[in-house]
Amino acid sequence: MDLEEIKKQLANEGDASLEMKGRWTAIERDPETGEVLDKEVSENVITEDGAVALADMLAGNSVTDFTYIAIGDGATEGGSESVTQSTLQNEVARVQDSSPGTADDTNGHKVTWTATFGPGDCVATEFGLLNDATAGVLLSYNIPAIAKDADNAELTLNYELIINEG
């Protein structure tokens, strides 16, 4: 199934359709004081494999829930993401958020995930949302503009999957 078929499955009758986008918020904190050292909000890509998994979920097919956030140090800082990405380039750590939240606001209907890393993990140049503790489907992939220090600082990642009527 390709992206066009997925879009057709997500489309409602008439002119209404659904639009998805993802947004990462990365917050670095001093591990001793809790002081915010840096915060970056960025859009990301929903991968082709992730879009297929979401379409399968909507169709009632069995798909493992997306509950893992991973960080890695294999991407080039400020590089660009690809929808064909299927794994992090060099994953270093993965944390489970076993209870993602949902909310509605002026930006649309959202599902949110949160995970905290470090200190001692890595200087993160990439992060992603996956559906397995060790492998799985990569739903979302992001390369931050500036690498995030989960080696010397605490790094909290918040991911929002936002769904709007298109």
* pTM of structure: 0.84
Rounded Cα–Cα distance for residues 162 and 46 (Å):
11
The DSSP code for 47 is P
Identify each DSSP E strand in 88-137 by its residue range.
Answer: 91-96, 101-105, 108-117, 123-124, 126-130
Residue 139 CA: distances (Å) to CA of 71, 90, 102: 14, 17, 17
Alpha helices in the chain (DSSP H): 3-10, 48-58
Contact 14, 166 (CB under 8 A): no
Expressed as residue numbers, the domain containing 100 is 3-12+21-165
- Going residue by residue through the chain, which has 166 residues, state the pLDDT in tens, using 9 for 90 and above: 344 444 454 554 445 567 788 899 999 999 999 999 999 999 888 999 999 998 888 788 888 889 999 999 988 877 888 899 999 999 999 999 977 887 776 666 888 999 999 888 888 999 999 999 999 999 999 998 888 887 889 999 999 988 877 6
Tally of domains in the chain: 1
